[in-house]
Amino acid sequence: MNVRYRVLTGLFLLSTITYLDRVCMNVVSKYVKSDLHLDNEQFGWILGAFSLAYALFEIPTGALGDKIGPRRVLTRVVLWWSGFTMLTGTSFSFLYLLVVRFLFGAGEAGAYPNASIVIARWFPAVEVGRAQSVIWAAGRLGGALTPLLVIPLVHWAGWRWAFALLGLLGVLWAIGWYGWFRDEPSDKAGISEQEVREIESGRNIKQNDHQIPWTTIIRNPDLWALMLMCHLFFYGSYFFTNWSSVYFQEGRGMTEDQTKNFISLSYFLGAIGCLAGGILSDALTKRYGLKIGRRTVGVGGLGLSSLFFLLAGLTTDNQMAGYYLAICVLMKDLALPVAFAVCVDIGQRNAGTVTGSMNFAGQLGGFFITILFGTIVHHTNNFNYPLFMIAGCLLVSALLWLRIDPTRPVALKD
């Protein structure tokens, strides 16, 4: 096996663990709310604290990876978030849990931007879409596994121990990553000269690039379009990450087993969507060019997801709502690896900073929908109103892909 595919395996495990930790709070929500006496509005702020911190620290952590390399930054990121994953299980009050989840988000920020740096340095440009699709499919696999693993664990040992054990997985990954990975292919022992030449001659970066100035981020309209697209995109993503369990059980009256099955199905289909989206985008790029290859998947995936969100909110059949929402994940996740591939396309050597900028905007979207969902439901007792809002956001996000040009690198000078 080529060494770069072993690197991708490491990133696959990273992404799987990331979503195990993220989705765990969604899966155990009813136990946490009951134990700490939280209503949906309060629980929304607990969930939103993670997204807000993640957003605030995303760009700096991505830029740090561009500067000092993803080996050290990813090690720090995973150790930090794993520690606060464990501390989540020690929570005894609303305020304590709010602080822990904020610090958890601050620690996890930068994981995917730094994974994009690894891809930019270790993969030829023609493999970027597929590599991103593998990483995001792994995240969806982690989400699919979470209810299947965590709910039996909660019944056996309680929700607090679930966070402790998941945190331990991250610590083990960080130790293995720091000892084995190297920032540049040429620095890795055991890699062939042929593979190094294949990577370095095919990747779309320059060794003498510098970090993108903040003023470039502020003034660049293409980057703003990418950021706004991701901001609205994540309204859909964070519904599934944070609120789907509450929606199915409280909004649709489903049992815990039914909820578990629909959450797992959603993330399983999301994994398929991620893989298919990256492969399809690379295939279209090879045949029709980068612009069509990226835009077609982005517009189609998010547009169809918008339609199925609307159908889920309109139907009175609870089972059909579950299936519609699962299809939403399949459709929207076609666009997910493509969005991160565009960050590599236009960011090149500065892929971490560009990815961090896009994901910063996305995480702010995650923060807003997390707070809005809990507040709307708390005051109206209607669990479908937020779905209509999300459908509209995804439609605008799909249209924004027509403004994104992956063939135009972000200018490095003011």
Confidence class of residue 128 from pLDDT cuts 50, 70 and 90?
A: confident
In the predicted model, is pLDDT for residue 209 greater than 50?
A: no
Q: What is the pLDDT of residue 230?
A: 96
The residue to which tokens 């992404």 are assigned: 15
| Model confidence pLDDT, tens digit, residues 317-371 | 999 999 999 999 999 999 998 998 898 888 877 777 788 889 889 999 999 999 9
Which helix (H) or strand (E) segment holds residue 272: the answer is helix 256-288
Percent of the chain beyond pLDDT 90?
Answer: 76
List C-alpha distances in Å: 383 to 6, 247, 373, 386, 402: 43, 7, 8, 7, 32
Q: Give mean pLDDT, residues 110-128.
A: 89
Confidence class of residue 217 from pLDDT cuts 50, 70 and 90?
A: low
Kindly report the number of other CB atoms within 10 A of residue 168's CB atom. 13
Q: What is the pLDDT of residue 9?
A: 96
Rounded-to-integer distance, Cα 185 and Cα 121, Å: 8
Rounded-to-integer distance, Cα 249 and Cα 255, Å: 6
In the predicted model, is pLDDT for residue 208 greater than 50?
A: no
Is 0.75 surpassed by the pTM of this model?
yes
| Model confidence pLDDT, tens digit, residues 78-100 | 999 999 999 999 999 999 999 99
